[in-house]
Structure 1
């Protein structure tokens, strides 16, 4: 049997993290959860996930800094989906300029997220 595709989820809302972990593991993914950007970078460097999900506003290191680290320090092309409750166009554009693959504003549908993930990991 092939190994499960790994996803790092960087999200400081523990309720949302639990919900997404349940939903994505049901879909057959292995979820690694970080409750801040610093932990997210550690998980990304250690596990080399197939996909990264990150919130923008997080303790210690922001989602934007996570994207920048993945793209410019680690030189990884891993797809990155960004979430933000702050649907501010400036932040979204900054995320895309840094190398984000996709963006979803909170609150979002877990079903829509699953479809976007499947599309990226084809």
Structure 2
């Protein structure tokens, strides 16, 4: 059975790139483009790992992370962010018990290494 990864980003190009990288490495990908859809997909598919952008429509990546961690503290969550004020964003993300943080733009190899490390 393939490892399931939920990828959440409202930027279609970023979403496609992440999906391409992960599918090429034999992961099963589930996608969502906003915070509400993300929570629905998490509850429905129970993924092995979640990659979530911090800035999303309807619910933020931190709100999504809070939902995930309240349901399953075992599921690793990686936050993606292109926000300028990175230090406070990183601190806030780790308060929500995220497992890793990747700044945009990122290299495909960096993403893969972090995913493999968490799984």
Q: Under a length normalisation based on structure 1, what TM-score does the superposition of the two structures give?
A: 0.93
- Corresponding pairs, count: 118
* Residue in structure 2 matched with residue 26 of structure 1 by the alignment: 24
**Which secondary structure does the structure 1 equivalent of 2:112 belong to?**
helix
**Aligned partner (choices 80, 83, 89) of residue 83 of structure 1:** 80
Q: Could you tell me how far apart the structure 1 residues matched to 2:22 and 2:72 are?
A: 26
Q: Could you tell me how far apart the structure 1 residues matched to 2:64 and 2:97 are?
A: 10
Gaps of 5+ in 2: none
* Residue in structure 2 matched with residue 65 of structure 1 by the alignment: 63
Q: How does 1:1-122 map to 2 (within 5 A)?
A: 3-72=1-70, 74-87=71-84, 88-121=86-119
Shift, 1:43, TM fit: 0.7
Give the 4+ runs in structure 1 shifted more than 4 A.
none
Shift, 1:76, TM fit: 3.3
Q: Under a length normalisation based on structure 2, what TM-score does the superposition of the two structures give?
A: 0.95
